A and B are shown apart, each in its own frame.
Chain A
Amino acid sequence: MNATPAVQLRDLGVTYGGATGREVLRGIDLSIAPNEIVCIVGHSGIGKSTLIRCIAGLQRPTTGEVLIGGTAITAPPATLALVSQDYGRTLMPWLRVGENVRLPLRGVGLARAVQDERVAEALSVVGLVEAARSYPWQLSGGMQQRVAIARALAYRPQVLLMDEPFASVDAQTRAELEDLLLTLQRDLGITVVLVTHDVDESVYLSDRVVVVGGRPALVREIVEVPISGVRDQLTTKADPAFIACRTQVLSSIQASKDSGSAVGG
């Protein structure tokens, strides 16, 4: 791993409400290689969304810095796309599906024909070509989240940032979307950083799982997932390596919870 990391966090810390305020994140150091898929797991309310907002350039960390492609960021970088949990509120209800996907491509000097092409391509990748002229409310939750993913893909990011992207869809859709993400990540060669509270999901999707825990939250452990080749919901989840990783991640989260108050301050 001697190439420039796609995403790098250096001593990242966030404290809300000034020096005497609530410290949420402390000293997060993390380096993510290009084409890597990394999940960040931890209890809900631990500061995962704060972390995501910092990586997305939507929030300035109190200490430390975020580097995307080797450059420290102070605003949302052009090479990064964010897919968040509440798809119902991140698609514009007044724009048809195709226009939702197109919106980030407008005003950046792309010819209309190129925009059309990218929108059509992104929608076909997520299997929603026929929904292009629908409004978001006419689609199911899972379909709306696929539109949000299509919007991110059409934007052609180098880094795809996902904040609990599958948390509000049903289990079957969730499994489909997980596999879709793995396929896309493999085919398009993008770096994916995904935040989740679901341990199974994190192990299933990741090359590495980063366990974050405690108050303030620190990086507790980084678990390598030694499963090579194409993953699938049935065999991978029965793989002893998968189960071993899952146990490791789970116990790490448990440990972080127990030691949480001791670290706090």
Chain B
Amino acid sequence: MRVLAGLRLLLWELWLPVALVVVWWFVSASSTSPYFPPLSRIWEAFVENWFGPSFRVDVVPSMTNLALGLAFALVVGVGAGLLLALFPLAGEIAEPFLQFFRAIPALAVLPALFILFGTGSTGNVAAIAFGAVWPILLNTLDGIRSIHPSVRLVARSYRIRPYLLVTNVLLPGAMPQITVGIRTSLAIGVVIMVGSEMYVSTAGIGHFVVVAQQTFALADMWSGILLLGVIGYALNVGYGVIERWLLRWQPRSTSGSK
């Protein structure tokens, strides 16, 4: 019964996108505009590129950089957020600076980061990490601060050991907000990944799209844009699963929003 209901929901969600793609396919079939090639041509390019050599040359480095950058952002963001929450005075002093750095568009910092870290993948990773760290850090800090005082009081009165306090009280207590921060960081990370590749890299999906555009290989360009859309969507869906697992202790009605 539940499988059937799930299937019905899936169909209900899928019919519109599927219909739009079909319309696109047939409407564009006779297109002679060089800017909007027929979907069939884009699809051919898509298969040729992304199931071909470009996968290894462009997709693998892009995704590796994204994964590394986000991993750095996660470790540094949660770690620093935790420390700043544990030492409230430091948190108070640091907060305006953090808000300032968060407010700088990470794309504007790209030139400086590439000077510092070189134009190789280190530069890309640094740029992604720099852009993605702030939402995670600020949400961790805020999440721990907003844990109810009664919870902290109980932990104190039972003399909970510091590492248990961190792993069993503070981080889980802040988790609803940390997951929100990660979701924001994920989106920022993808933008910076593409942006930094367009800016200086010699590989990556962003680089591929720019080169395709500059050489008027517009079907290739569209195939790259399409791939980025698919990747962004897949990351969001995949992260939704992780998020539900991280917040599995919450009543169903309040978890898994958005």
Which A residues are within 8 Å of any B CB, using their own CB? 56-58, 76, 78, 80-82, 84, 86, 89-90, 92-96, 99, 103-104, 106-108, 135, 137, 151, 155
Contacts and interface: CB of A to CB of B under 8 A. Distances in A.
Contacts of B107: none
Interface in B228-258: 249-251
A92 B159 contact: no
B158 A103 contact: yes
Given A78-B159, A104-B158, A92 B172 contact: yes
Contacts of B168: 92, 95, 99, 103, 106
Contact of A137 (B160, B169, B251): B251
A82 B172 contact: no
A183 B163 CA distance: 36
Contacts of A104: 158-160
Contact of B157 (A76, A103, A107, A137): A76
B150 A84 contact: yes
Nearest to A151: B158
Contact of A84 (B154, B159, B160): B154
14 contacts: A56-B157, A82-B154, A82-B157, A86-B150, A90-B151, A90-B154, A92-B151, A95-B172, A103-B158, A103-B164, A103-B168, A106-B161, A106-B164, A107-B163
B114 to A, nearest CB: 41
B148 interface: yes
* Most A CB within 10 A of own CB, among B150, B151, B156, B158: B158
Interface of B: 148, 150-151, 153-154, 156-161, 163-164, 168-169, 172-173, 175, 249-251
A137 B150 CA distance: 16
A139 B97 CA distance: 43
A82 B172 CA distance: 22
Given A58-B153, A89-B148, A155 B158 contact: yes
B156 A58 contact: yes
A58 B175 CA distance: 26
* Most B CB within 10 A of own CB, among A99, A107, A135: A107
Contacts, number: 62
A94 B150 CA distance: 15
A52 to B, nearest CB: 10
A94 B173 contact: yes
Contacts of B153: 58, 84, 90
Contacts of B156: 58, 76
* Most B CB within 10 A of own CB, among A86, A95, A103, A155: A103
Given A58-B156, A76-B156, A93 B164 contact: no
* Most A CB within 10 A of own CB, among B157, B168, B175, B249: B157
A94 B154 contact: no
A132 to B, nearest CB: 15
Given A84-B153, A107-B161, 18 more contacts: A58-B156, A58-B157, A76-B158, A76-B159, A82-B154, A89-B148, A93-B250, A95-B168, A103-B160, A103-B164, A103-B168, A104-B158, A106-B161, A106-B164, A107-B160, A107-B164, A137-B251, A155-B158
B160 A135 contact: no
* Most A CB within 10 A of own CB, among B153, B154, B156, B164: B154
A90 B250 CA distance: 16
Contacts of B148: 89
Nearest to B250: A93
A93 B151 CA distance: 10
Nearest to B247: A94
Contact of B172 (A76, A86, A90, A94): A94
Contacts of B158: 76, 81-82, 103-104, 151, 155
Contacts of A58: 153, 156-157
A81 B159 CA distance: 10
A259 B153 CA distance: 34
Contacts of B154: 82, 84, 90
A137 B253 CA distance: 12
A93 B255 CA distance: 13
Contacts of A93: 249-250
A137 B172 CA distance: 15
Contacts of A151: 158
